[in-house]
Amino acid sequence: MAKKEANFDLYIHGLLIEAGISATAQGSDILEIQNALKTASKKQTGNEGYPEYTAIVKDFVIIMEDKPDKSFLCLKDDNGSILLTIDATEKYALNGALFYAKKIIEQTNCKKIFAFGNVGDSKHHILQPLFVSEDDYIELPEVETFENFSDKNIDEYYRRVVLGEVPPEDVELSDILKKAKELHEYLRNYGSLGEDEKPLVVSAILLALREQNRSGFSLSSLTGDTVETDGDKLYKQLENSLKAAKVRPEVKLKQVLNSFNLIKDRPKLNEPHPVLGTENSIKTPLKFFAEYINNNIFKAVISNSAEDFLGRFYGEFVSYSGGDGQSLGVVLTPRHITELFCALVDLKSTDIILDPCCGTGGFLVLQL
């Protein structure tokens, strides 16, 4: 059993090294923590305690107890609380780690501790963290590595997982995904559009909106005129946008433009709808859609963010059309794939990138 435990301790030490965490075995090289451990025996006799590993990462203490048998992870009482009896702290990894953490909090100025109960062997194991504070402890999800507790990641992990804070970019993305569902309903209710037509209308509007900054196009010009309809005006702007992008050859440009003809040829999209707008200013469905997309989606898409909002929005939007978009020719690379390959490429500021099939630009956005 001693050999198994020693081998598992070495495996845990290897994981700590991989994460860039410098840990001390069987104690601590921090005097304040050393003094706290002098009376922290798990037998609770007042003698010295020897946790497998301790480390300091920023203003967090990391403390670990290892056991080679997975059945000795944790012992709880009938209410689900982790027991701190002598038998529990001696035999069970998480109980022992919590015991050490509480001793350190009681006798030092260290008040934020990640206590780990690690059990098993190098192939089959459980790495179970707790967050221990002066008030209580929080059971956290199991982990596979200690990367989240490195100097680079520990603050964000603490905010996300312990405090439950949601980063601003996640809040914004969550809202955009919600808007994708709402927009899908609006297109159906006010535009009577088929499932393969909805993405075309959204794409046409997004292209036209690009001309707001480039050529001064304004949504106020969409007045529901019967001579030059809102669809005519949006079509003209998206044509300008495609020409500015230098879509070649000419035959390809014409094919792309033809796919957007429905916005000017579909009467229902260009007739004022009694439910939309106000009594004195009724809007066409196209104007309503354009304003909605501009206010809720387009501004986030063009923001200087490292998130591929367009790809995430479009993927969510087409999913409400009864599929994943592939029937429409839309194939979006999952975010975890773009992140992996961008990390592997390891581009420098002096490199030149050519992505002839960039789609929504998910790979390019991550390189910014």
Give the model's pLDDT for residue 214. 84
The answer on 150 and 194 residing in a single domain is: no
The answer on 337 and 325 residing in a single domain is: no
pLDDT digits (tens, 9 = 90+) for 9-54: 999 999 999 999 999 999 898 899 999 999 888 999 889 999 999 9
Final residue before a domain boundary, out of 127, 162, 197: 162
DSSP SS3 for 302: coil
The answer on 238 and 129 residing in a single domain is: no
Average pLDDT of every residue of the chain = 86
Give the model's pLDDT for residue 324. 45
User: Residue 368: pLDDT band by 50, 70, 90 thresholds?
Assistant: low
d(CA 223, CA 307) in angstroms, rounded, equals 34
- Please say if the pLDDT value at position 250 is more than 80: yes
The answer on 209 and 268 residing in a single domain is: yes
d(CA 19, CA 214) in angstroms, rounded, equals 47
In total, how many domains does the chain have? Answer: 3
User: Residue 69: pLDDT band by 50, 70, 90 thresholds?
Assistant: very high
- Please say if the pLDDT value at position 328 is more than 70: no
The answer on 149 and 245 residing in a single domain is: no
DSSP SS3 for 305: coil
Cα–chain-centroid distance for residue 266? 39
Between 88-102, 263-277, 313-327, the lowest mean confidence (pLDDT) is in 313-327
Question: Of the spans 13-27, 241-255, 286-300, which averages the highest pLDDT?
Answer: 13-27
pLDDT digits (tens, 9 = 90+) for 151-201: 999 999 999 899 988 665 665 677 778 888 899 899 989 998 988 899 889
The answer on 366 and 318 residing in a single domain is: no
The answer on 144 and 41 residing in a single domain is: yes
The answer on 175 and 200 residing in a single domain is: yes
Final residue before a domain boundary, out of 135, 162, 189: 162
The answer on 357 and 212 residing in a single domain is: no
Q: Are strands 113-120 and 137-139 parallel, antiparallel or unpaired?
A: unpaired
The answer on 337 and 327 residing in a single domain is: no
Q: Structural domain of residue 97, as residue ranges?
A: 2-162
Structure tokens at 194: 């088929």
| Cβ 267 vs Cβ 325: under 8 Å | no
Say which CATH number the domain at 35 has.
3.40.1350
The answer on 338 and 321 residing in a single domain is: no
Structure tokens at 222: 């969409």
The answer on 36 and 104 residing in a single domain is: yes
